[in-house]
Amino acid sequence: MRILEPLRAMLQFTTILPMGRPSDYDAYVRHAYLLPLSGYLIGGIAGLIAMLFVQPQIAGAVALAIVLVLTGFNHFDGLCDLGDGLMAHGSREKRVTALTDRTLGAGAVGVAIVVMLLTYASLTTVVWIAGAIIIAEVMGKVVQVILIVVGNPFREGLFSYMHTGAHWWFIPLSFLFIAPLLLLPISPVSLGFATAVALITAGVLMMVTRYLFGGVNGDIVGASHELTRCMVLLALAITGF
């Protein structure tokens, strides 16, 4: 089936799961709207393993560790880079340099600690950790699709190439993958609130990065997933999911 190759390519570029022979990057770029399916898989694996533990503190830590590992810490690396860029002082050029260099500073450590603490606290507060991590991972991927389509690249690179290959209809297609989440024991109100929080996160992130860096790059897209996961879990904890 034609859809299998894009799915394999998407999983190969977004996870560390063994997917056989190297895939064509273009297959991933042309079907970026499938990203939420990666969220279902990653969140599902993390949720199933977390269910093996009775204590919510351990189950939450295990679920969070698994999603970070399965993504190869790539999104976490983007969050750290964004932290350095946010905390840098001076001109836009200096902020971009801090965002894109390979060294990690206090901004990276500080932002990573804050986001991980909020994520863990929210995840261990929800009633059903397995369901919450699936919802958060899917929402994170939807936000990534939004940034891929709408985000303005501030320099040439893999993200700018991906942005060029994206189409506006990727966004509504990615939103269709939210609907199956209603099969989980979650009320439409709670899911709607979580979706609204994810969209607000995407909007605020794009406004901030446009002002500070002049646009978006791959690091920011990766960071958007970590930030969205955190905010969605916080929303689910607030609504008593």
Angle at 61 between CA 128 and CA 44, to 5 degrees: 50
Closest CA to 173 of 141, 131, 135, 136: 141
| Averaged pLDDT for residues 126-140 | 96
Sequence letter at residue 42: I
Cross-strand partners of 153: 216
**Complete DSSP assignment for 157-189:** SHHHHHHHH--TTHHHHHHHTTGGGGGSS--HH
Poorest-pLDDT segment among 25-29, 118-122, 233-237: 25-29
Distance from C-alpha of 166 to C-alpha of 132, rounded to nearest angstrom: 29
Mean pLDDT across the chain: 92
Q: Could you read off the pLDDT of 81-126 as tens digits, one per residue?
A: 999 999 988 888 999 999 988 888 889 999 999 999 999 999 999 9
How many residues belong to the chain?
241
89/153 Cα distance (integer angstroms): 22
Distance of alpha carbon 63 from the chain centroid: 15
Contacts of 64 (CB under 8 A, 6+ apart): 46, 116, 119, 120, 123, 133
Annotated domain spans of the chain: 36-238
Nearest residue to 15 (alpha-carbon basis) of 48, 38, 33:
38
Of 195, 170, 173, which Cα lies nearest the Cα of 182? Answer: 195
Cα distance between residue 79 and residue 189, in whole Å: 29
Q: Tell me the C-alpha distance between 146 and 195, whole Å.
A: 13
Tokens of 78: 């983007």
Using alpha carbons, list the distances in angstroms from residue 10 to 15, 185, 233: 8, 28, 24
* Interval 29-88: pLDDT, tens: 888 999 999 999 999 999 999 999 999 999 999 999 999 999 999 999 999 999 999 998
DSSP 226: H
